[in-house]
Chain A
Amino acid sequence: EAGVVQSPRYKIIEKKQPVAFWCNPISGHNTLYWYLQNLGQGPELLIRYENEEAVDDSQLPKDRFSAERLKGVDSTLKIQPAELGDSAVYLCASSLSPLASEQFFGPGTRLTVL
């Protein structure tokens, strides 16, 4: 069974440019999460989806970040415009349900903003 797929794995952009990350969760997983992980830190939740509905986006900086999960399967996280401080790893995870104890993480997208 395929795990959580993310692309691209690495992205280097200049500040003020837009960037998008894509995630395909494990088949059948209704809950999808986007996390941000800074170097030497644990993942921090940005947004959680139940099917196509964003049910927890309180930590998402809405002035520049947006996300969508139109058909309740794959998801896209966008930053526009990117700032230097956005350099981090963006992790996508999925779980069978919001009550599941285990989350399955993708390999992440490492973003460098110059």
Chain B
Amino acid sequence: GQSLEQPSEVTAVEGAIVQINCTYQTSGFYGLSWYQQHDGGAPTFLSYNALDGLEETGRFSSFLSRSDSYGYLLLQELQMKDSASYFCAVRDGHSGAGSYQLTFGKGTKLSVIP
């Protein structure tokens, strides 16, 4: 089966940088995704890493190390609107199935304070 570990809560100051870590155990690993979800809202896609390294999209960056089964989401220049839950999700698949399944972690609740 799959398992993902991420901190349950993180608090950071507006304008600062925060890193949310995610470690995973799975078979048939294809990549790591990150989703943002505001309270009462829909999860929205932030990033996807299939290969080792850093992917940057504006203020958000995501990193993956396949050998360490580890990734992180980096949020820079934090804004109040970044207060939300952030989920890492492992994309894995079954040989020959030609498709993938997303397994989500329990989420990290980020609180940005003035």
Question: Residue A72 at the B interface, CB < 8 A?
Answer: no
Contact of B44 among A42, A44, A105, A108 (CB under 8 A): A105
List residues 37-81 of chain B with CB under 8 A from any CB of chain A.
41-45, 48, 50
Chain A interface, DSSP helix/strand/loop, else mixed: loop
Q: What separation, in Å, do the CA atoms of A77 and B20 have in the docked complex?
A: 34
Q: Are B45's CB and A102's CB within 8 A?
A: yes
Give every chain B residue within 8 A of A41 (Cβ-Cβ): 106-107
Give every chain A residue within 8 A of B42 (Cβ-Cβ): 3-4, 91, 105-108
Q: A42-B87, A42-B89, A43-B43 are in contact. Are A99 and B106 (CB under 8 A)?
A: no
Chain B residue nearest to A98 in the complex (CB) = B99
Task: Count A-B contacts at CB 8 Å.
Answer: 52
Interface string of B77-111 (1 = CB under 8 A from A): 00000000001010100000011111111110000
Number of B interface residues in the complex (CB < 8 A): 23
Give every chain B residue within 8 A of A98 (Cβ-Cβ): 98-100
Q: Are B101's CB and A45's CB within 8 A?
A: yes
Q: What separation, in Å, do the CA atoms of A102 and B47 have in the docked complex?
A: 8
Question: Residue A114 at the B interface, CB < 8 A?
Answer: no
Interface string of A43-55 (1 = CB under 8 A from B): 1110010100001
Q: A42-B106, A43-B104, A107-B41 are in contact. Are A101 and B31 (CB under 8 A)?
A: yes
How many whole Å from A105's CB to the nearest CB in chain B?
A: 4
Q: A42-B89, A44-B104, A107-B41 are in contact. Are A101 and B33 (CB under 8 A)?
A: yes
List residues 10-52 of chain B with CB under 8 A from any CB of chain A.
31, 33, 35, 41-45, 48, 50
Ordered by A's residue number, 26 sampled pairs between the chains whose C-beta atoms are within 8 Å are A3-B42, A40-B107, A41-B107, A42-B105, A42-B107, A45-B102, A45-B103, A48-B101, A50-B99, A91-B42, A91-B43, A93-B43, A98-B98, A98-B99, A98-B100, A99-B99, A101-B50, A102-B45, A103-B45, A103-B102, A104-B45, A105-B35, A105-B42, A105-B44, A106-B42, A107-B41
